[in-house]
Amino acid sequence: MLSDRLPDITPKVRAEVSPAMNKIIVSIRDIIAKQKDDRVLIFSFRALKSIASTLCPADEGPLAGVVQGTLAAVKDQLLAPSALSALASMSFVVSLICFYISKSFYIGPSLDLGLFLSFEPLLRNAL
């Protein structure tokens, strides 16, 4: 239901419900990490796609938290279409992560090692 109705709300209302969307994103992150049922994961990726396609600035941080699990799901033949569709909607967030990693890698002292280590292998393998 979320994936069907969220794109129809106005930007003003979407901004107002951003705190609730952030809680949903965190729940989806946990589902992606722990769930084994492909149907549940596919519906989770559809919800992520809707949330990301109606992105509010406050959603960027929580969405960055689901990129790693979503990239990992791309390797599963059944999950790949839904995961890739969600990633396409999160392209702005993925671009920010790539930009941050590339700048940190070349600049050196500003490197956030934890962030780099968590995303770097997946981004290099998936992109």
| Full-model pTM | 0.71
Q: What is the DSSP letter of 76?
A: S
Q: What does pLDDT average to in each consecutive run of 10 residues of the chain (127 residues)?
A: 78 90 94 93 93 85 87 89 87 62 51 51 49
**Residue reference for tokens 């490197």:** 111
- Please count the other Cβ atoms lying within 10 Å of the Cβ belonging to residue 62: 19
Torsion of CA 80, 51, 35, 79, to 10 degrees: -10
pLDDT given for residue 63 in this prediction: 86
pLDDT given for residue 64 in this prediction: 84
pLDDT given for residue 110 in this prediction: 47
- CA 32 from centroid of its chain's CA atoms: 11
pLDDT given for residue 104 in this prediction: 52
pLDDT given for residue 127 in this prediction: 44
pLDDT given for residue 20 in this prediction: 92
Q: 55 exposed, middle or buried (CB, 10 Å; 0-12, 13-18, 19+)?
A: middle
Return phi, psi of residue 54, to 5°.
-115, 35
